[in-house]
Structure 1
Amino acid sequence: TEQLHVTGSCNSLIMYTPTFTLGLLFNVMALSFLFFKVKKLSESTIYMIALIFLDTLLLFTLPFKIISYHLQDNWNLGSVFCSTLESLYFVNMYGSILISLCICVDRYIAIQHPFMAPTLRSTKKAAMVCAVICLGTSAGTVFTFQLHGEGYNISSCFHNFSKSTWENAGLFSALETTFFGSMAAMTFCTAQTVRCLRKHRKRDNPQTHTTRAEKIVVTNVVAFLVCFTPYHMAYFVYFLVKNNIIHTSFQQVLRDIVQGTLCWANLNCCLDGVCYYFVLKEVLNYLSKQLPSNIQI
């Protein structure tokens, strides 16, 4: 088996503890806004609720990641419970990525194609998309339940993944394609959204500078890229090394980098609640006077 210990208390305490605390706080704040301030559910709010749900499930696993670090090779909470935690952790991260993509595409359609939006968007369609993603991520647990190999006895949860896990080309392709495909689509949609916002700004008031709405849209996708790109790049290189496609004497360093960047990726749970709260409130309301009245945003 492949020993993958968290690199130190810096990762487990300095990163996971505030990520869990702030992530839970910000997501509760965003959820409170949705339930108490939003009078009618729209496509955007449905996606937001799904994102908060998936992020919260991921946050739930972080205290156990801290516990697993301190227990080292003495995990005594059961193999099934460990596999469940690992599944929630990894699968819900990609569920959050897909929901973030949906929010970005939905915003792009509402702003860039306002007259087509009533046909392309609806609360029922948004709910169906969220249901498909949640069911899909649940089905994904079939693959993440065997991270330690068959017939295993887990002694170190979130570590000791089997060699076959790191060499699984199917799993590698699915995860990398999900992220990089989402990244490309979000970058395109964000660029087009910002272009449309600037077009409206220059038409209505040419003397104004970059609006807060534009800054929030850009900040949103930048936060996504900053959080997730390092891990997926590190995972890509580590996969190549594990499969002897490239050779290096720094495999231990790469292993630590994978763990460190994965820890960094969890910061997205904190940023989601804040970013999308302001995106929904600022960007979509910014254009509410300019879009057809039959479009719910």
Structure 2
Amino acid sequence: MNDTRADNSISTDVELFQLIMYTPTFTLGLLFNVMALSFLFFRVKKLSESTVYMIALIFLDTLLLFTLPFKIISYHLRDSWNLGSVFCSTLESLYFVNMYGSILISLCICVDRYIAIRHPFAAPTLRSTKKAAMICAVICLGTSAGTVSTFQLHGGGHISSCFHNFSKSTWENAGLFSALETTFFSSMAAMTFCTVQTVRCLRNRRKPDNPQTHTTRAETIVMTNLVAFLVCFTPYHIAYFVYFLVKNNIIHTSFQQVLRDIVQVTLCWANLNCCLDGVCYYFVLKESLEDPLQNSEKTAMRKL
């Protein structure tokens, strides 16, 4: 979340940073997400549980990416937003709702891999494309309920600035704060556990007569996804946590403006995940189709 500021101004350095970051994030993110979707729809002959989750993730990421140009415009307009309050609230809903929808879908992909690799005998019962589609639908519907909160970010009435200058009541909403922080940190814990267990299982399956000194491609993919998730989302949620405490006078500091800028910068940084998701899954699909893996690694990759 962003914040209301006494002088209602945006730090010039932060605005420049956002412009530099959002332009390539939007361009490259849209490019790689479209390429990944093209591979999924035109090259993958049969949908799996993983591809269902990938489609949902790419869809959510793409919707978020479409809000970035308007986010740049909003900071440039500062207190002169003239595109309408409803349109602003809709953009904010797409932005924040899809951000947390992407976090939950990323969790599902990680858990799905864990089940497939760690519990292969239970996997046929626990996994199916129908179940994956139902889970994606529940997540999309559940996160969409968050639009009730996003339409109240400015306290109702006329909106003069979009994506920032939220009302005091928004920052006093402990329920909203708890829901967002719990969603991320619980997802982070679950993904870390599943990734560690999955990598251990993959390493244990290496043939004793053919030891490998380097991690396999499957292990690299699993670890890369977790690292990208942590690097993109963790700074923002830590900054948001600290800033919420400061705004509610739970902790006191003379660096509130600095914290506010950090929240802005880390939120901008978090959007890189939309780009990285597309890049990662595009190359995963491209490699799996053009250069099939062999032996146990091929089997592991199929399960991913």
Pick from 266, 270, 283 the counterpart of residue 265 of structure 1: 270
Aligned to 1:168: 173
Q: Write out aligned runs for 1:117-136 (5 A).
A: 117-136=123-142
Pair 25,164 (structure 1): closer, same or farther in 2 beyond 3 Å: same
Matched, 1:158 2:188: no
Aligned-residue RMSD, C-alpha: 2.1
Pick from 189, 210, 214 the counterpart of residue 209 of structure 1: 214
Aligned to 1:184: 189
Matched, 1:7 2:7: no
Pair 251,243 (structure 1): closer, same or farther in 2 beyond 3 Å: same
Contact 1:55 1:92 in 2 (8 A): yes
Distance 1:22 1:6 in 2: 26
Pick from 34, 45, 68 the counterpart of residue 28 of structure 1: 34
Cα deviation for residue 52 of structure 1 reads: 0.7
Cα deviation for residue 199 of structure 1 reads: 1.1
Q: Alignment length, in residue pairs?
A: 293
Aligned to 2:279: 274
Which amino acid is 1:242 matched to?
K
Matched, 1:226 2:231: yes
Pair 272,5 (structure 1): closer, same or farther in 2 beyond 3 Å: farther
Pair 207,89 (structure 1): closer, same or farther in 2 beyond 3 Å: closer
5+ residue gaps in structure 2? none
Distance 1:53 1:77 in 2: 25
Distance 1:283 1:229 in 2: 30
- State percent identity of aligned pairs: 85
Pick from 241, 247, 258 the counterpart of residue 242 of structure 1: 247
Higher deviation after alignment, 224-233 or 33-42: 33-42
Pick from 82, 96, 104 the counterpart of residue 98 of structure 1: 104
Distance 1:187 1:278 in 2: 23
> CA offsets per residue over residues 143-174 of structure 1, 9 Å max, x none?
11110003x21111111100111121000000
Cα deviation for residue 280 of structure 1 reads: 5.8
Distance 1:242 1:215 in 2: 40
Which amino acid is 2:11 matched to?
T
> CA offsets per residue over residues 249-277 of structure 1, 9 Å max, x none?
11111111101100000000000112234
Aligned to 2:83: 77
Pick from 13, 20, 23 the counterpart of residue 17 of structure 1: 23
TM-score normalised by structure 2 residue count = 0.91
Secondary structure at 2:236's aligned position in 1?
A: helix
Pair 99,205 (structure 1): closer, same or farther in 2 beyond 3 Å: same
Which amino acid is 1:135 matched to?
L
Divergent runs of 4+, >4 A: 278-291
Cα deviation for residue 5 of structure 1 reads: 5.1
Contact 1:12 1:69 in 2 (8 A): no
TM-score normalised by structure 1 residue count = 0.93
Aligned to 1:139: 145
Distance 1:183 1:283 in 2: 27
Distance 2:126 2:9 in 1: 46
Which amino acid is 1:261 matched to?
T
Contact 2:117 2:303 in 1 (8 A): no
Distance 1:290 1:129 in 2: 25
Distance 2:273 2:40 in 1: 19
Cα deviation for residue 219 of structure 1 reads: 1.2
